[in-house]
Chains A and B, each alone.
Chain A
Amino acid sequence: MKEIDELNLPDDIRYTDDHEWAKPAGDTVLVGVSDYAQDQMGDIVFVELPAVGDTFAKGDEFGTLESVKAVSELYMPISGQVVAVNIALADAPELINQQPYASWLVEIKPSDPGEYEQLHDAAGYLQLLRG
């Protein structure tokens, strides 16, 4: 497992307490899990994602990640409707381990764009991880 100093935490995205990240992409926001989350899980073997069109409030469970011996729930960083899911992960869940920030899970059309600003920036998230 990585030491905290070894983690990759890009500055241009925001993070949650539950280790998801959110990244604006025009009108929509991409959601994934952080380098810390993938490292803690170990080899990810299965991803369960919602259907396009499902709506979630901030903090709702929207799917799960599975390793060989653990299941981890995924929670929405912001409220909104799912406009796309990353179907490539169904056959290649290891992409989340290899490239956590390129491997978005869902694309959301936010219902309250202000929520994004309330998420941790990289420094705040790092602070959180250091406890």
Chain B
Amino acid sequence: MRYLPHTSEEIDAMLATVGAAGLDELFASVPSDCRVARPWDLPAPRSEWELNDHLRALAASMGVDEQTAVLVGAGSYHHHIPETVRALAGRSEFLTSYTPYQPEMAQGTLQAIFEYQTLTARLLGVDVVNASMYDGASALAEALLMALRVAKKKRRVAVAKAIHPHYRAVVRAYLQPAGFEIVELDTLTSGRTDLGGLAAHGDLAAVALQSPNFFGVIEDLDSAAAVVHRTDALLVAAFTEPLAYGLFKSPGACGADIVCGEGQSFGLPRSFGGPYLGMFGCKAPFTRNLPGRLVGETKDAEGRRGYVLTLATREQHIRREKATSNICSNQGLCALTAAIYMASLGGTGLRQLARLNYDRAEYLKGLLVRAGAKIVFDGPTFNEFVVEFAADFRPARERLLARNIVTGLELGDLYPELAGRYLFCVTETIDKKTMDTIAAEVAA
């Protein structure tokens, strides 16, 4: 096996040093009734070429491939990934290193994560950003746990129904064992969240909104911050599409206290849902309540600029059961990837790309309305919107699939009241010709 370098002579020499007669003797401390007793029946080992063929075959059994135009987002977006992002994030010095516990030999990772923290803080309008969480869903769950820690005695949080249903499911899994209560907030006809009855829900530690929300609608975070703060709760702003903040006002600028969400749009492939990037930031007063790792700047023994992991006393390896989170391994390489992507776009490019996404989505909206469809929510949207067709859309959808176009996500499983409506997503990867084709099929 090419990953195992030992020759039989070397094994014999090493066994002699150790004082064992054979390799099996090394496991003498394992009692016989704890041992593997039956074969695993794994497939025979494959050569590199056979493995390539096998994965190619698996790929070929997919109903869609990289050529398919997928007009579905819902927390996983198709954006162009520059080859530089793949090449640089794939450098093995980044890829094959561990968490930077020895800062003198990990300055590359550390400076890169410090830059990620900085760019992301600027994007989200917050003071501090951590070195990443698992994904947008767990980031939201951790944000609500953080708000409950800050609020100390409160036991209840409110979560908008317009937050990604999977994220809300993860929030339930994280919060319920400890007995925290979750109230869900309804959606208005604009597609925005109804904050009218907040006070009636009692002592809330936090109110969580997603913007753009699951329906693509931009929430009025400015007003929400005022309403939420009047109830003495924290505003947690979640997101699945950070590119929106290239165009729209950032959640931090609107007054959100904790901002968290999914960074996959920034250079990560859809990859069937992972590995993605939980982005997580907050306003400065809450820094010591942050979950996860932080990189800080300092100086070395000779006064040179350098970076270390810092404020580690919040973390599990030191504070154990009182830690701000149990997270250890994070999504470091995904954060690095997002930083390379943000650096490649720059401020000018970010605005340009966000604007392009907005314009293309609005273009398809217009085409569909002209073809007789209705946009379900009338609030402003970014990239995604919910469509109701005049007739059963399924036949047209099948015809479009035959032309390698996947149009929209049917919402009935996630929101029974929206059965038969479709959540569409348009990014810069969907060209005019594709959109015109869709409109023609809808009209047909």
Contacts and interface: CB of A to CB of B under 8 A. Distances in A.
Answer whether A and B touch in the complex at a CB cut-off of 8 Å: yes
Contacts, number: 15
Interface string A47-82: 000000000000000000011111100000000000
Interface in B303-346: 312-313, 318-319, 322
Among A46, A66, A69, A70, the most chain B Cβ lie within 10 Å of the Cβ of: A66
A68 B319 CA distance: 12
Contacts of B322: 71
B323 to A, nearest CB: 10
Interface in B227-256: none
Interface residues of A, number: 7
Contacts of A67: 313
A46 B311 CA distance: 10
Q: Is the interface of A mostly helix, strand, loop or mixed?
A: loop
Nearest to A65: B313
Among A46, A67, A68, A70, the most chain B Cβ lie within 10 Å of the Cβ of: A68
Contacts of A69: 312-313, 318
Nearest to A71: B313
A93 to B, nearest CB: 12
Contacts of A46: 288, 313
Nearest to A48: B288
A66 B244 CA distance: 39
A69 B317 CA distance: 9
A66 B312 CA distance: 10
Contacts of A68: 312-313
Interface string B265-298: 0000000000000000000000010000000000
A66 B288 CA distance: 12
Contacts of A66: 313
Contacts of A71: 313, 318-319, 322
A46 B313 CA distance: 10
A74 to B, nearest CB: 14
Given A46-B288, A70-B313, A71-B322, 4 more contacts: A67-B313, A68-B313, A69-B318, A71-B318
The 6 closest A-B pairs by CB, nearest first: A66-B313, A71-B313, A71-B319, A71-B318, A69-B318, A70-B318
